[in-house]
Amino acid sequence: MNEDMKECMFYDIDGDSVRCRLCPHGCRIGEGQSGLCRSRKNIGGKLYSLVYGHPCAIADDPIEKKPLAEWHPGTRCLSIACTGCNLRCPNCQNSMISQASHGEQGCYDCSPDDIVALAKDHRLPTIAYTYTEPLTWFEYLYATATKAHEAGINNVLVSAGFVDEEPLRMLAPFLDAANIDLKSFSDDTYRHFNHARLAPVLRTLLILKEMGVHLEITMLLIPGINTDAGMQQKMFRWMKENGLADCPLHITRFFPAYKMMDACPTPLDEMRKAEMMAKAEGIKHVYLGNV
Ligand code: SF4
């Protein structure tokens, strides 16, 4: 076993297997097997995070790239990512790392203290956990975020929000801002297109709001997947009815990627229609992205 591996939080022994309790997939993982996110493995009856301390990407980004439009504009952040994702979106822009197993991509050796020191050395006021699904490398995210807060550095989570309630509530006090994808407002689409479910994502939005994290939402508009006006109306109404009318909403344009290279970019009139619908339904801060 690699000595760098970190035993996971949030799992139970289940006979010869382990049951991960980090996300709603609840993977039952046999000896020597990894969970669906590929970053958590049963070794000798214990669940280990394979990627702890091994980010595959480290970059200096403008905060607007996350995207965050209404939180510390004009500042920059240290973006980090490890391999791993618990969704299977065929349009993923970062599939090279999100859908890779640990070891398939080059990675760094960086403890949480190293990441905090890097942010300080480069005078970056914020660390962003981003590019893949940070919640699947929860132990590294949590350790880094707590140390960052001790050092007076902000933490930003960029995520699809498909996580169980207990880990999210544990992490939220250390988050300053989050951008969460709301990929559609259809459980069927979440199940078949993203290999996830809608309800846990909605719960994540409400918990982050309740716990005082600055929240922005991203909806990537994909022709034929989430361009239905009725579905969009339900989404915007849900936001308003749940106190999220003031939450900045980023409607971003799809471009062909990963398994959807043959699809067309979102027509601009679809973008404008969604923007008009959101505003008509009372969403106050709507931003169009990638246009
Ligand atoms: S975090 Fe990974 S291993 Fe755990 S339940 Fe989710 S997909 Fe499975």
Q: What does the pLDDT look like over 186-207, one tens digit per residue?
A: 999 999 999 999 999 999 999 9
In the annotated binding site for [4Fe-4S] cluster, the residues are: 85, 89, 92
Q: Name the residue with the closest Cα to ligand 1, atom 3.
A: 35
Gap from CA of 112 to ligand 1 centroid (Å): 22
Identify the bridge partners of residue 155 per DSSP, sorted by sequence position: 127
**pLDDT score recorded for residue 225:** 96
Atom 5 in ligand 1: residue holding the nearest Cα = 26
Q: What average pLDDT does the segment 97-125 reach? A: 95
89 plus 233 within the same structural domain: yes
Read off the pLDDT band of 153 (50, 70, 90).
very high
Same domain, 66 and 187: yes
Predicted pLDDT of residue 4: 67
Cβ–ligand 1 distance for 47 under 6 Å, the answer: no
Cβ of 136 closer than 6 Å to ligand 1, yes or no, is yes
CATH (domain of 117):
3.20.20.70
Give yes or no: residues 149 and 186 share one domain: yes
In this structure, the answer to whether residues 123 and 254 fall within a common structural domain is yes
Give the integer Cα–Cα distance in Å for 20 and 10: 6
pLDDT surpassing 90 at residue 66: yes
Nearest atom in ligand 1 to the alpha carbon of residue 11 is 4
**Distance between Cα 83 and ligand 1 center (Å):** 13
21: CA distance to ligand 1 center in Å? 7
Pocket test for ligand 1, best of 18, 51, 86, 166 (most atoms within 8 A of CB): 86
Q: Is residue 132 part of a domain?
A: yes
More confident of the two residues 253 and 3: 253
Based on the fold, state whether residues 105 and 21 are members of the same structural domain: no
Q: What is the pLDDT of residue 61?
A: 98
- Same domain for 36 and 80: no
Same domain, 23 and 66: no
Instruction: Give the domain extent around 157.
Output: 57-289
pLDDT at 60 over 90: yes
**Does position 84 have pLDDT exceeding 80, yes or no?**
yes
Question: Per residue in 212-270, pLDDT tens?
Answer: 999 999 999 999 999 999 999 999 999 999 999 999 999 999 999 999 999 999 999 99
pLDDT grade for 2, boundaries at 50, 70 and 90: low
User: 202 lies in a domain?
Assistant: yes
Q: Is residue 75 part of a domain?
A: yes
What mean pLDDT comes out for the span 57-63?
A: 98
**Same-domain pairing of 61 and 28:** no
Residues 123 and 40 in one domain: no
Give the pLDDT of residue 102. Answer: 87
pLDDT at 20: 98
User: For residue 147, is it within any domain?
Assistant: yes
Whether omega before 67 lies within 30 degrees of 0, making that bond cis, reads yes
- Whether residue 215 sits in one domain with residue 115: yes
Q: Is 22 in the pocket of ligand 1 (CB under 6 A)?
A: yes
Same domain, 43 and 61: no
What is the pLDDT averaged over residues 95-108?
Answer: 91
140 in the same domain as 41:
no
In a domain, 1, yes or no: no
36, 132, 137, 195, best to mutate for ligand 1 pocket (most atoms within 8 Å of CB): 36
**Best probe residue, ligand 1, of 12, 27, 82 (max atoms within 8 Å of C-beta):** 27
Give the distance from CA 115 to its chain's centroid: 19
- Residue 262 falls within a domain, yes or no? yes
What total number of domains does the chain contain?
2
Residue 254 domain-assigned (yes or no): yes
Pocket flag, ligand 1, residue 41 (CB < 6 Å): no
Long-range contacts of 22-30 (CB under 8 A, 24+ apart): 22/135, 22/136, 22/138, 22/163, 22/164, 22/167, 23/86, 23/135, 23/136, 23/162, 23/163, 23/164, 23/200, 24/162, 24/163, 24/164, 24/196, 24/197, 24/200, 25/86
